[in-house]
Amino acid sequence: MSNEIDLFKYGQLVAQVEAMEKKIDKLEAGMEQLLELANKGRGGFWMGMMVVSAISALVGFVTNHALK
């Protein structure tokens, strides 16, 4: 058995690691974009709930005073 390092196989391994690092960087960027989109959607949902609640309160107030 020889303890020599095969430079060709070492070069292939280095290339594979670099390719994986690029893929991981792309995945991290995609995850950040998805998280931002989810946070925007959640904020929009709560804003919509607030608007509907305000409108229903206004309609209830007007109908309550109109029926008296």
Per residue, the 3-state secondary structure of the chain, as one string, reads CCCCCCHHHHHHHHHHHHHHHHHHHHHHHHHHHHHHHHHHHHHHHHHHHHHHHHHHHHHHHHHHHHCC
Residue 64 has pLDDT above 70, yes or no: yes
pLDDT bucket at 2, cuts 50 / 70 / 90: low
Q: For 10-60, what is each residue's pLDDT tens digit? A: 999 999 999 999 999 999 999 999 998 888 878 888 888 999 999 999 999
Neighbour tally for 49: CB within 10 Å: 10
